[in-house]
Amino acid sequence: MDLEDQFAIACQAAIAECGKLSPPYVPTAWIGMINRLGAVEAARQLVMSADIQPGFVRLVASNRADLTIESAILDDKWEILFDEDMRSVARWRLQQAGVQLP
């Protein structure tokens, strides 16, 4: 299994975890993007978009920034999949939202 497949599995696990939140959250736009583009390309497009996604806001407000795609992009395990520009945008968004980064 290659790294992109592993990333897709990790994204599915994060989606499942979102469903366990109270109230449950189903990131339908994210799921649709994964189905159309694949997880890596969907993540790239979301992060490079000028728009802050409602799901990002909701997860940060729920103290689950760890479930955001921005957090996933910053995970060293996936570093090879995302260039430094994407990682910088992800870091900036989390910092702007008040998320403490390691």
Residues 15-64 have pLDDT tens digits of: 999 999 999 999 999 999 999 999 999 999 999 998 888 999 999 999 99
Instruction: Cis check for the bond before 24: say yes or no (omega within 30 of 0).
Output: no
**pLDDT, the chain, mean:** 95
Amino acid at 32: G
Cβ neighbours of residue 84 under 8 Å, at least 6 residues apart? none
Asked whether the beta carbons of 18 and 27 are under 8 A apart, the reply is: yes
Show the tokens assigned to 91. 């870091």
Give percent helix, percent strand, percent coil of the chain, each to the nearest 5.
70, 0, 30
Place of tokens 């490079």: 48
pLDDT for 45 equals 95
What is the pTM assigned to this prediction? 0.92
